[in-house]
């Protein structure tokens, strides 16, 4: 959890094993016992992040029976990071660092996007809100728009900006209501 917090605040380049060990009250050697390198730690953190995100998306489907309600709740999954000390999605932050990431981390970051887009595609089809041949591109657009809204809100330190942008996406029909 602490590694995720650090990476959400400072990206992969801000993920430091010594600082992490100090923050959790252990020696750096203990971290290296579980992760041979910073890249291994970064990949594990990104993997855990998309796995947790996938579970949260599945929980939305299990809690509410209406596919349109699932779509309306989707932006909340990104809003939570802003609620936590003005953070942004870990994988969005790392995606911005793609040129500097080791390949194993790039794969995990891409998996996060794939999980979100696949979920959105399935939900758009279940909601029968777009033609099936347009569901994947709409899912990509929603994912990009929501992640972008999060980034803009963070840069302004104002979660109300996020809420306004999401409301605009709904009003414009990007996110079906």
**Selection from 111, 106, 104 nearest residue 35 by Cα:** 104
The domains of the chain, with CATH numbers, are 39-172 (1.10.357.10)
Closest by alpha carbon to 35, among 18, 49, 23, 11? 18
Q: What is the pLDDT of residue 32?
A: 64
d(Cα 84, Cα 63) in Å, to the nearest integer?
A: 23
| Token output for 159 | 């979660």
- Extract the tokens encoding 96: 């911005």
Question: Token pair of 13, please?
Answer: 């380049």
Low-confidence ranges of the chain (pLDDT < 50): none
Q: Which of 2, 142, 158 is nearest to 82 (CA)?
A: 158
The pLDDT of residue 120: 98
pTM exceeds 0.85 for this model: yes
């Amino acid at each position: 959890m602490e590694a995720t917090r650090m990476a959400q605040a400072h990206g992969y380049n801000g993920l430091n094993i010594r600082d992490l060990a100090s923050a959790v009250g252990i020696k750096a050697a203990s971290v290296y016992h579980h992760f041979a390198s910073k890249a291994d730690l970064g990949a594990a953190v990104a993997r855990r992040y998309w796995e947790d995100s996938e579970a949260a998306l599945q929980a939305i489907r299990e809690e509410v029976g209406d596919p349109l309600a699932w779509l309306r709740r989707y932006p909340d999954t990104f809003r939570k990071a802003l609620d936590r000390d003005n953070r942004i999605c870990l994988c969005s932050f790392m995606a911005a660092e793609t040129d500097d990431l080791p390949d194993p981390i790039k794969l995990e970051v891409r998996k996060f996007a794939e999980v979100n887009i696949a979920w959105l595609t399935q939900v758009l089809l279940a909601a029968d809100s777009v033609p099936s041949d347009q569901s994947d591109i709409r899912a990509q657009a929603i994912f990009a728009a929501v992640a972008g809204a999060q980034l803009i809100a963070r840069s302004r330190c104002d979660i109300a900006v996020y809420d306004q942008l999401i409301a605009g996406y709904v009003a414009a029909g990007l996110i079906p209501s």
